Each structure stands twice: as structure tokens, then as C-alpha cells.
Structure 1
Amino acid sequence: MNDTTLIISGGTVVCEDAVLPDHDVFVRSGRIAAIRPSAGYRLADGTDDSSLAIVDARGAYVAPGMIDVHSDFIETVASPRPSVVMDLRTSLYQAERELAAHGITTIFHSLSVYGAAIFDHKPIRNFENVMNLVEEVSAMRSVEEAEHLIRHRLHLRIEIDSVDRYDAIKECIAAGSVDMISFMDHTPGQGQYSDLGIFGNTLKGYRDISDQEVARIIEEQQRSDKLSLAQMTELARLARRRGISVASHDDDAIEKLDRMAALDAAISEFPITMDVAHEARKRGMHTLAGAPNVMMGHSHSGNLSAREAVGEDAIDMLCSDYYPAAMLGAVFALHRIVGLDLARAFALVTAHPAQAAGISDEVGSIAVGKRADLIVVRELPVRGASEDESVPVVTEAFVGGRCVHRSLYPAFEDVLADGDARRRRAADAPVAADQASADRGALDFAAAEDEAAQIDFEKAQAVR
């Protein structure tokens, strides 16, 4: 158990439905204990106690750690070259370092099971490697706060041509080795590749082939065996029995939503059109788009614009897809460019994904009792750019109340040093006994009955 008392002081706290300027977030034993107007806390002079930590968040946003329910990033880390597969366990450790730096505190590694490789053959997508990754991620859950920087989860993407893998997929779900499943159909002529011209151009981007070869592949894929509705229903039933969310992928028609409703799919990933996205939302489904789509302002495959869809409330979740840095960037792009309220923008990558994945009772928002997965975000000025242009960066990240990432940008040193000087001057003034009592009272939050906690709190001094 993490017994550290943590106070993140003076930041703009982004809750699920409100933004609270100049507030303090109190953390005890890895959970959020209170959110209160800031009292300007700092460690009392001479205090040197590892059980008490105060983070100065003035001028920064304090937000929930982001939850990424669809990420291919581990493939890039584990397979930095098309023909190379690095040690998988080491790759997961390396990946979490970068993900923590981007503010992603819960990751759903999206591993794909295919029947045939249409575009290119990546060894990391060999079924054996996928199953090894499933095993590694599954083993991380019970020791995540003791041995890892972030929370690792598994999103198994099931291409419906993976007929020969049906029994193995079923076994994984039944054993509880996965945390989310989605059904994909990349057959050309529908879904993401309803435009055969786009499919052909995409294929040629991977392989040097003729138009005749493209036509042959299209015909071959359209005629290939697919999982039956009965098989998909059985997999979905097993998932629901274990509390695992089911997602559909590349929904391009109302009829497809009807088919996925039979599987009780709770998520529509990357709906192709605005009409389908709106219909999915009307049916109570969560709708997911890629954060890179928001950053670029358009879909790389010519489909739905995420910016427009978020603005129309047709999309309620974002994922990194293939680019983790886009998560935080998309939040601020929607806030600055589209004018989206910051609480609503952050909910796209925090509260809503947590709800869709069935983990919102523990993470996804800043609320008393939840796990203290938190990030401190500052806006870093861009050299040579206009005064209002900046890049959002994560300067601190916490998982279960432990600091798992800290970035020391020189640009923020003057701001914090100036604040520290003001606090030291204020601390020179005598503090009346009744004021000291009031300060202790301000710290008397949810854990006030805990004698050990009260001893820690008395080591903190409030400076107003």
C-alpha cells in the first residue's frame, strides 16, 4: 500500500463536469481524499518526511490520468523494424515510460488476430507473438502499482476472417486474459475500405503491385471464410459474462449497428459516417475516434472528421490509435480550435473511456475515493511563435498516488521560484494559534479519523 500523503496544491482541477481554478487535491493511501479551494500548502521548515509530499501546481492543470482503449503503440516498440521482434517483456517496460510521459496512465494494448495479412506481414502480428503479449500483459495486472509505471490492459481485436483461431480466442476470453474485445472486418468494399480505390491505393503504399494483383486480392478477400454470427455471439457472450466490454469496428451502416446490437456491443470504434455515429450514440453506444484525426483535422483514410463529430456530440471518446502524443494534443486542440469546454474535452480521454471499459468506479475522473491516477499539465511556450501558442506537456504523472513521471522544463523554473519566494516571505510572519488550528482543520478531510494521517497533516503549513 502507498502510505504517502500527497497534496497537489493550487492547480486548476479538471473534474468530469467542472473546472475548478486554484484548488488542492489531497491523496491518501493511493486514493483521492478531498478536493478543496487552495490554501497554498508547502512543507513546514525543516520537514523531511518521505510520507508527505506537496506538489506545486500553480499555473497548471490537474487532470485525471488518460485512458487509452485502443493503441497499437506496443507494436512499434516491440518491432522497430519490419523483420525485428524485440523481447516482449522488455518492450512493455520501455513503452510504459513513454506512455507515462504523455499522461496515459491506463493503456489497452490493441493486439490483432488476423486470418490473412492483406497489407504487409509484420512478425509482431504473428499469432504466437500476439499470444505471448497477451500472457505478459495479463501477468502485469496483479503487480501493476508495485512493479509498473502505468496500468496495462489488453484489447483483443478479432478480424472476422480469423476462423482458424476461433478456439484459441475463445480460450483467452474464458480465461480472463483480455480486458476488451472488438470485431473487425477489413474486407474491401465495406467498412473502412468501402471505397475500393482508397483500398487499392493503400495496398500499393505497402506493396509494389499491379492493378490486376489488387483486383485479385479484393476478390480473394471478399470470398474468404468469416466467423459466423453464432461464433461471434458466443465470443461476445463469454466476454459479457466476465464483464469485458465488446466493441464494433468501422461501422459504416445502420444495418451493421443492428448486427452488433445482437452482440450487445457497447462501443462503436471509428464509425465511418456522421449518420452512423449519431445513430450509435442514440442507441447508447460509446463512439470512438482517433486523436491523430483530431490533430490533423481529418481522417487519414478519408472517413469521418473527428473534430466535426466531437463538435456535434457524435463522438464521445478518443484513443491514440498509433500516436500516443496525440491524446493530450487533441484535448487542447478541441479546446482552442473548436471551443470545447476543457472538462468536456478531457472527458473524451478520461471519464468516457473509463465508463466504456467498465473501470469508472476506480479511475477516469477526479473524485473522492477513486484511485489517484493524476497528471499535472502545463502549457509550454513555443520558441519563436505567437504569445498565445503553446504545447501542452505533462510535468508530473501519478498512478495510485505515486509519482511515475516528472519533466523539469527550464521554462517553468522562474514561475515556481517566484511563487516559492512569495511563500517564504509570507511564512516569516507569525501565525496566530487560532490560525494554526484553522490550518489543521483545513487538512481534516476524509482521513481525519486516521491518527497516522493527522500526524502527517500537522507537518504541513498553510500559507495565505
Structure 2
Amino acid sequence: MELAFRNARVVTRDEDFLGSVVVRDGRIAAVDRGPGAVGEDMEGDVLMPGVVDIHTDNLERHFFPRPNIDWNPVSAAVTHDSACVSVGVTTVFDSLSVGSFNGAPSRGVDNLVRLTGGLAEAREGAMLKADHRIHWRCETTADDLGARLEPLADHPMAAMFSVMDHTPGQRQYRNVEAHMAHWRAGGMSLEAAEQRLAEARERQARNAAANRRMVAELARAKGAPLVSHDDEDAAHIDEAADLGATVAEFPVTEEAASRARERGMVIVMGGPNLIRGGSYSGNVPASALADADLLDAFASDYVPRSLIECAFRLTEPPFGWPLARAVATVTSAAAQAAGLGDRGAVEPGLRADLLRVRRVGGLPVLRGVWAGGGRVG
């Protein structure tokens, strides 16, 4: 099967230009300068790679649309997939928490087995338009992390592992007073909140170091990237890098991001952080890391639409990034973080995951989505 696109603003790894693209058998076959003579007229719209999202929590929302109400897992996977494709995400790492710190029903082992089983069934039945993989987020303070992770890690779609530690008073929750106030606002007494904090710190001391090593060894054995979450300082980064982590996701300080750069890690921030103008937890803004040249890629975290907006927001003041550099934060750099060398750029030989985008009223609007050379949106 062959497709051709002409009169497009083609975005490559390094530049953008008026050009044409030919797709053959699901791969990009040719990229040429000039408007081209054949193919679908892009009318000057941007033609860029499909977005690669290495961390989205969105699947859980479709499985549990309301508290204590679970949906058919295959149906949830299909609905989630459609939502991703509609905002230009053609490669999806569905991030699922193991040993969760908040006890959400969707994160129990039984429900994770059901949810990932539904995802696999949807993929095997050719019901999914995007390429889905699983990103296991591992809460290293959990007493039973090993037992929880064991039946999940061998899932055929498992492709990334990350280590996280949500103990109040450090990393994402550095402001322990604010965290205590949140518990108190929920009706917890001061004595109960102090007891909960003490128990969390005891679990961390008991489990975190050994569990981090366990997850790192598992990722190494699977040949999957190891990701470190919410690092606060240089010591956190060094610990992660020494274990084999190649991605620093959501560093909470500029110090941590700077050390991640020195250690050769891919620095990934949350898309909502940039679009909303800062971190909801009061941590370092993505904009500050962009200004300091300490930002490589974005992940959607909880808003898949944020990624396509990030790519175009960075081209505007006060950033003023070239379009190719900005687009790379949600395409080639994200693909690098995931260890995927077959996608993320508009160049011959790579997967034909492509987006047609036009700016309307300052917002990027998707006018066409192709995954593996087939039109999906």
C-alpha cells in the first residue's frame, strides 16, 4: 500500500520545510523538499511524527469511571485507545501502579490482571489503533511489592519499569506540612496523621532500597528501560543511574535535572506542568527546566492532549524554540527514552506514524492521524 502527501510543512529531527512524503507498506519511503506533484494536498499544514507517550494514567479512568464502578476491561481499552489517537498519540505506554500508595481499587493485583488482560485481548483482536505497551510503576516502599509484581511483570506487553517513592517529606511530597494538612482536611486527627506519617517512613526504611534493586534487576532481565520518578537531588539521581536508570521522569528540582543531564539520562517532564504553568505540587516548573536547557521530553501523565499542545507551546514566547526541536520533545526524544529506534521521526525507513496539524486560534488541531501507514483519525 502506498500513500503520498504533498504541500506539507514537514517536520524532521532538525528542521521544517515545505515538502512531500511518500509512505509504502507502513514505512516512510521518501521525504523530499518542494511542494510535490502527487498525493493528498496538506494545504501547508504541519506533517509531523505521531506522538510517543511513555507515561499516561488514562487507562485506569476508563476501567473505573467512578469510584467502585468497574467497566468491561476490553471496552475500557478501546475507549482509552480512541482518546489517545484523537489527540495524536500513536505510541502509548499505559502506566499502571503496583504496590500503590493510595489504595485505589484499580491498582489491586486482581484488577491489574483484568485490566491488562483486557488490553491484550483488545490488541490481539485488532481493536486498537495505536501501539500500546505497559509501563509498570513500582512503589518501592510497599511491603509486598515483589509478590504483587511477580504475576504482572511477565505480561507480553510489559515494556518499561519505573521506581517511585511517595513517602511524605521528600521527592514529590517535599512539603510534609502541606501533606499533613491534606490528611487533616479529610477528617483525620492530628494524632492519626502523625501515626500515618511515622508508618510511611518506617515502610520506606524497611523496603525502599531493596525494592529499587529488585525492580532494576527485573528491568535489566527483561531488556526494558528503567525509569526513576520524582528525584529531588543529585544523590537520588546518582542512586537511580547507578542502578541502570536511563530516564529521569518528573524531577522535582533543577538540581536533580542538572545531575540527570550530567549522568546522560533523558529528562522527562509532565505535559500538564508546562501547559498549566507549573507543578500542582509546587515542584520545579517545566518552563524553568526548558529555560535552563534541562528538558528533553514530555509525558502526558494525566492529560494526553497536553503533549501536542506542549510541542507548539514551546515555539511561542517566552521559549521561541524552533518547531523541529519542540516537536522532538513528544516524538523522537520520547522514543529514545523508550528505547524505540523505529519511530519518532519523519525519515525514510521508520514507521509511518504521522500527524497532520493546523493551528486554529492558537491551538494545534489534528486534521489527520496515521499509524503504521494506515489512517486512524
Relative to the length of structure 1, the TM-score reads: 0.77
Give secondary structure in 1 for the equivalent of 2:316.
helix
Paired with 1:330 and 1:202, the residues of 2 have a C-alpha distance of 30
How much does 1:290 deviate?
0.6
Q: Residue 359 of structure 1 is aligned with which of 335, 340, 358?
A: 340
Give secondary structure in 2 for the equivalent of 1:335.
coil
Paired with 1:80 and 1:142, the residues of 2 have a C-alpha distance of 24
Q: Residue 165 of structure 2 is aligned with which of 185, 193, 212?
A: 185
Equivalent residue, structure 2, for 1:265: 245
Paired with 2:184 and 2:371, the residues of 1 have a C-alpha distance of 43
Equivalent residue, structure 2, for 1:449: none
1:13 partnered with 2:27: no
Q: Residue 372 of structure 1 is aligned with which of 352, 361, 364?
A: 352
Give secondary structure in 1 for the equivalent of 2:82.
helix
Equivalent residue, structure 1, for 2:291: 311
Equivalent residue, structure 1, for 2:99: 114
How much does 1:134 deviate?
2.8
How much does 1:203 deviate?
3.8
- Per-residue deviation, residues 407-436 of structure 1 (Å, max 9, x unmatched): xxxxxxxxxxxxxxxxxxxxxxxxxxxxxx
Paired with 2:62 and 2:345, the residues of 1 have a C-alpha distance of 29
Q: What residue identity is the alignment partner of 1:27?
A: V
Q: What residue identity is the alignment partner of 2:324?
A: A
Give secondary structure in 1 for the equivalent of 2:144.
helix
Give secondary structure in 1 for the equivalent of 2:97.
strand
Q: Is the 8 A contact 1:32 1:372 kept in 2?
A: yes
How much does 1:61 deviate?
0.4
Q: Is the 8 A contact 1:138 1:178 kept in 2?
A: no
- Per-residue deviation, residues 234-273 of structure 1 (Å, max 9, x unmatched): 3322312322000111101211122212310011111111
Equivalent residue, structure 1, for 2:307: 327
- Per-residue deviation, residues 276-305 of structure 1 (Å, max 9, x unmatched): 101101100011111111011111110011
Q: What residue identity is the alignment partner of 1:400?
A: G
Q: Which moved more, 1:81-90 or 1:160-169?
A: 160-169
How much does 1:403 deviate?
0.4
* Percent identity (aligned): 33
Q: What residue identity is the alignment partner of 1:87?
A: N
Q: What residue identity is the alignment partner of 1:84?
A: I
- Per-residue deviation, residues 436-464 of structure 1 (Å, max 9, x unmatched): xxxxxxxxxxxxxxxxxxxxxxxxxxxxx
Q: Residue 350 of structure 1 is aligned with which of 331, 352, 359?
A: 331
* Cα gap change, 1:201 to 1:336, in 2 (>3 Å): farther
Equivalent residue, structure 1, for 2:367: 395
Q: Residue 104 of structure 1 is aligned with which of 89, 92, 113?
A: 89
How much does 1:154 deviate?
0.5
Q: What residue identity is the alignment partner of 2:256?
A: V
Equivalent residue, structure 1, for 2:108: 126
Equivalent residue, structure 2, for 1:239: 219
How much does 1:231 deviate?
4.2
Unmatched runs of 5 consecutive residues or more in structure 2: none
Equivalent residue, structure 2, for 1:76: 61
How much does 1:138 deviate?
4.5
How much does 1:363 deviate?
0.9
* Cα gap change, 1:62 to 1:201, in 2 (>3 Å): farther
Q: Residue 321 of structure 2 is aligned with which of 327, 340, 357?
A: 340
* Cα gap change, 1:257 to 1:231, in 2 (>3 Å): same
Give secondary structure in 2 for the equivalent of 1:180.
strand
Unmatched runs of 5 consecutive residues or more in structure 1: 43-53, 382-389, 406-464
Equivalent residue, structure 2, for 1:250: 230
Equivalent residue, structure 1, for 2:70: 85
* Cα gap change, 1:115 to 1:353, in 2 (>3 Å): closer
Paired with 1:368 and 1:188, the residues of 2 have a C-alpha distance of 48
- Per-residue deviation, residues 153-188 of structure 1 (Å, max 9, x unmatched): 100000012331303414533565411011110001
Q: Is the 8 A contact 1:243 1:358 kept in 2?
A: no
Larger radius of gyration: 1
Q: Is the 8 A contact 1:115 1:164 kept in 2?
A: no
Paired with 1:228 and 1:76, the residues of 2 have a C-alpha distance of 28
Q: Is the 8 A contact 1:316 1:348 kept in 2?
A: yes
Relative to the length of structure 2, the TM-score reads: 0.94
Paired with 1:14 and 1:177, the residues of 2 have a C-alpha distance of 30
Equivalent residue, structure 2, for 1:224: 203
Paired with 1:175 and 1:153, the residues of 2 have a C-alpha distance of 10
Q: What residue identity is the alignment partner of 1:219?
A: A
- Per-residue deviation, residues 10-62 of structure 1 (Å, max 9, x unmatched): 11111111112x201100000000001234435xxxxxxxxxxx332122100
* Cα gap change, 1:202 to 1:33, in 2 (>3 Å): farther
Equivalent residue, structure 2, for 1:425: none
How much does 1:216 deviate?
2.4
Equivalent residue, structure 2, for 1:155: 135
Q: Is the 8 A contact 1:115 1:161 kept in 2?
A: no
How much does 1:126 deviate?
2.0
* Cα gap change, 1:56 to 1:227, in 2 (>3 Å): farther
Give secondary structure in 1 for the equivalent of 2:314.
helix
